[in-house]
Amino acid sequence: MTKNHQAVGIVPGGAIIEKDVPMNIEAWESVSINLRQADFTTAIRLADAIDSVLGAGTAVPISSGQVRTSIPVSFQGRVVQYIATVEGLDVMVDVPAKVVVNERTGTVVLGEHVRLSTCAIAHGNLTISVKDTVSVSQPTAPFMGSSNGQTEVIKNQDTEVQEDPARLLVVDETVTLGEVVRALNAVGVTPRDLVSILAAMKSAGALQASLEII
C-alpha cells in the first residue's frame, strides 16, 4: 500500500550554497529591481517614487516586471544603504480587476477595480420539499371472524414545489467598488446566489473583471 507521492520531498529553508560567488556590491553602478508580480502601472509608480526621493531620472522602467535604477553620486560606495532606502519607499500596488468566488462556502471577494455595465437581473428561488406521512389501514370489522382483512401501514408521500416570485432589477453602470457593492446588495440575494449571478453577468459581458471560481 502507498499513500501520497513517495517521490516528492521538501527541503526546509531552501538550498545552501557551498561555494561563495564573488560579488562586490560596493562597485555597482546600477541596481535592477524585479517585481514579484509584474505590472506596468506598478513599475511606473515605483520609478516615480524613486525619482521623487533620489532625483529625477534615477529610475527607468525596463518592463512590467523590472525597474533599473542608477546609483546617485551621494550613494557611491554605499550601495547597501541605497538599496535599504529604496526598500523603504511606499508604492501603491496596482490591483487587477478580479472577482474570486468559492462555490463551496459561498464566499465572494471583489477587487478594487471591479466595475459593472448597465444590465437587468432577474433571479428566483425554486424550493422543492418532500414530506413522508404514515397512516394505518385496517378492515371494517377486524375482530369478527367473517373478516379476512389485515391491518397494514401505508406510507404517503407529499411533494410541494414553491417558487419565489422574481423581480427584474436594472443595475446601472458603476464606476467605484462601493457602487458595485450597493448594486449587488440591491438584488437582495444570498452570497451563494450571488455566485450564479456573477457568473451569468460575466457571460453577458456586464462584469468588467476576470472571474475566478475556486
Q: What kind and span of H or E run contains 46?
A: helix 40-54
Whole-number Å distance between alpha carbons of 27 and 143: 112
Q: Are residues 60 and 79 in the same domain?
A: yes
In a domain, 209, yes or no: yes
- For residue 125, the SS3 value is coil
Q: Which amino acid is at 121?
A: I
User: 468559492: which residue's cell?
Assistant: 102
In a domain, 7, yes or no: no
Q: Are residues 148 and 116 in the same domain?
A: no
Whole-number Å distance between alpha carbons of 83 and 115: 38
- Reading the block at residue 49, the C-alpha cell is 517614487
Q: Do 95 and 112 meet the contact criterion of CB atoms below 8 Å apart? A: yes
* Confidence bin at 186 (pLDDT 50/70/90): confident
Q: Are residues 71 and 103 in the same domain?
A: no
Q: Are residues 205 and 112 in the same domain?
A: yes
Q: Are residues 192 and 120 in the same domain?
A: yes
- Neighbouring C-beta atoms of residue 43, cutoff 10 Å: 23
What tens digit of pLDDT does each residue of 15-50 get?
777 887 788 888 888 899 999 888 899 999 999 999
Q: Residue 154 phi/psi, 5° resolution?
A: -115, 130
Q: Are residues 117 and 206 in the same domain?
A: yes
Q: Are residues 106 and 49 in the same domain?
A: no
User: In angstroms, what is the C-alpha Rg of the chain?
Assistant: 33
Q: Are residues 138 and 194 in the same domain?
A: no
Q: Do 31 and 25 meet the contact criterion of CB atoms below 8 Å apart? A: no
In a domain, 3, yes or no: no
In a domain, 139, yes or no: yes
- Reading the block at residue 146, the C-alpha cell is 367473517
pLDDT: which is higher, 127 or 136: 136
pLDDT of 34: 92
In a domain, 169, yes or no: yes
Q: Are residues 47 and 141 in the same domain?
A: no
Q: Are residues 192 and 106 in the same domain?
A: yes
Whole-number Å distance between alpha carbons of 175 and 87: 33
Q: Are residues 44 and 114 in the same domain?
A: no
Confidence check: pLDDT of 144 > 70: no
How does DSSP classify residue 118? S
Give the domain extent around 178: 98-124+165-213
Q: Are residues 82 and 143 in the same domain?
A: no
Q: What is the pTM of this model?
A: 0.54
